Amino acid sequence: MSLKKMRKQQSRRQRGMTLIEIMVVITILGLIMAAVGVAVIPRLEEAKRDTARLDIANLHNALKLYYAKKGKYPDTSTGLRALVETQTLEQMPKDPWGNEYVYLSEGGKPVITAYGADGSPGGEGADADVSSRDLQKEAVANR
């Protein structure tokens, strides 16, 4: 084999990928990312709602501990800060959407609410509220 042919074969091997090959790879990666995005994004909102439910249940347990120490639940004006002040909690938690949990003391019974993605009362879908009232109703229904 001549020296010229050997150099030609080596240069073909060293060329790497052509522009078309790179574009095909990028297109395939884009399609994979789109498919994953369609499958994951709806689950993200569901996961945030589940996180809010767990946080509310934990806050409710902390309120029970507060009640055991003080003999009453905090009033609405003091709210969940009372849990931090009595060192029942280390810090004020935020809901999965970055807002503070809303605390109301209704007739001596605490109600904890996360207002959803919009941060305001009411709403549907991602904006729907998650409340300790709803969790109690679900617990009764599941028995």
pLDDT value at 2 more than 80: no
Distance CA 60, CA 111 (A): 8
Residue 25, pLDDT score: 94
Both tokens assigned to 47: 């996961």
pLDDT tens sequence across 25-78:
999 999 999 988 888 888 888 899 999 999 999 999 999 999 999 999 999 998
The distance in angstroms from the start CA to the end CA of the chain is 84
Which tokens sit at 84?
């931090």
pTM of the complete model beyond 0.75: no
